[in-house]
Chains A and B, each alone.
Chain A
């Protein structure tokens, strides 16, 4: 099915563990983004990518790593999870830069770090 999908949808892990959240889109959109959403903060940008092999930091990148070897995939890795990284993570894509066009969001990945 066409669209943007995230996995896993729900994840519980322990402090210090490595976690990877997957994001896959079938539109061949150039731009992909990772946001986290926390109560009172809205959506905050973690990393974004303008094309394969091009990534850049957003507002809150510390503790996260991304890669984009293929246009359709944009995984987010928490190298050593901390409790402050408990959040809902949204992947999004856009045909053009998000400042001019629509962002399409995945269903979200709810991560709990114990």
Chain B
């Protein structure tokens, strides 16, 4: 089982809709969860992080964490064409000093 798994996508949503991305992780001891956005041909950049169960909102982005279910999600509200990118879920694995990344979900927002 992979340490971090994401919906492979691609996910296509119309402009203005909500894009929902899901991520599950295997290590029950994980404490830190991150979402990175990566535009085609570019490097990843951090857009959200969450440490506690529940929701965390930042502008049009909401991260949701459920440690009991080992599940973290990212909602993008009012999706814009500029949101078209690959979204990487990253989780700290307790016995490592580094993050483990999922394979990413590619989102395309249709104008």
Instruction: State in angstroms the CA–CA spacing of A31 and B92 once bound together.
Output: 15
Instruction: State in angstroms the CA–CA spacing of A90 and B45 once bound together.
Output: 12
Instruction: State in angstroms the CA–CA spacing of A104 and B101 once bound together.
Output: 14
The answer to whether A58 touches B43, judged by C-beta atoms less than 8 angstroms apart, is: no
Instruction: State in angstroms the CA–CA spacing of A102 and B91 once bound together.
Output: 12
Instruction: State in angstroms the CA–CA spacing of A100 and B96 once bound together.
Output: 12
Q: Contact size class for B? A: 20 to 34
Q: Does A111 make an interface contact (CB < 8 A)? A: no
**Which chain A residues lie closer than 8 Å to B31 at the CB level?**
99
Q: Does A43 make an interface contact (CB < 8 A)? A: yes
The answer to whether B97 touches A98, judged by C-beta atoms less than 8 angstroms apart, is: yes
Q: Which of B43, B92, B93, B104 has the most CB of A within 10 A?
A: B43
Name the interface residues of A20-59: CB closer than 8 Å to any CB of B.
31, 33, 35, 40-45, 48, 50, 56, 58-59
**Which chain A residues lie closer than 8 Å to B75 at the CB level?**
none
Residues of A within 8 A of B (CB): 31, 33, 35, 40-45, 48, 50, 56, 58-59, 90, 97-100, 102-103, 105-108
Residues of B within 8 A of A (CB): 4, 31-32, 34, 36, 42-46, 49, 88, 90, 92-93, 96-104
Closest 7 pairs between A and B when the two form their complex, measured CB to CB? A99-B92, A105-B43, A42-B103, A43-B101, A42-B101, A102-B46, A98-B99
